[in-house]
Amino acid sequence: MTYDADEETSWRAYATRIDAVLDLRYEDSSGDVSQHTVEARYFNEASLFGRCQLHKANREFLYSRISSCQDANTKVDIPNAYKYLLRLYEKTPEYSYEITIEEHQDILRALLYIMEHSGHQEHQRPLIIATLCRKLSGDNRIDTRHTAHFVVMHRRASPQAFKLMIGRLSQSLLAPQKAALLKLATKLATQFEAPNGDTQEALDYMTQRFAKTE
């Protein structure tokens, strides 16, 4: 077991967030075996990180040193801690959001580009992206807690980057999907004002590229 006052910051950046309480029988680096109740906060394929109630500190627990594991709340025996935590994560809105971003990133980025050039205020963009993610995923738990970071990470795309997104979408989407995307982009572009030069150019490019691959 290891712990560090700054370690949670590192785990937050490179591991998956989870909320679970586990009872572990654990062998430390000296070969001593002891029982621990751990409030798991993050996990990866090799270990989990959380608050150890015995030591009242944040600690890392390697799966390879866990000899037995049980859910502290349900008392269900857990033969594989990593698989158990992964299944828990797959039931969360964070997982739904992650999959939605992986599968539909170009769509969301293209629509964000349209919003940035058509009068949508900064606070409105995460709300609209969250609504789109809920529709794409079917998970109504996704909200701006998830999408605010996406908007910051992908803001101010260049016109060339937008064209590359549309080029990829012209090849990957079916005709009805392209029509629906163009309709939504047009709705966003005209929601507050008539399309300006940048917005109209973007809509024209979408129309041209999507027509070429019909």
The predicted pLDDT at position 212 comes to 80
pLDDT, one tens digit per residue, over 143-161 is 999 999 999 999 999 999 9
The residues with which 22 forms a beta bridge, in sequence order, are 38, 71
CATH number of 7-89: 2.30.30
Q: Closest Cα to residue 97, out of 66, 133, 138, 71?
A: 133
pLDDT, one tens digit per residue, over 58-117 is 999 999 999 999 999 999 999 999 999 999 999 999 999 999 999 999 999 999 999 999
The predicted pLDDT at position 14 comes to 82
Q: Closest Cα to residue 164, out of 195, 205, 212?
A: 205
* pTM (2 d.p.): 0.85
Answer yes or no: are the C-beta atoms of 65 and 12 closer than 8 Å. Answer: no
> Structural domain boundaries of the chain?
7-89, 93-212
The region of weakest confidence among 13-17, 69-73, 182-186 is 13-17
The whole-angstrom separation of Cα 150 and Cα 5 is 28
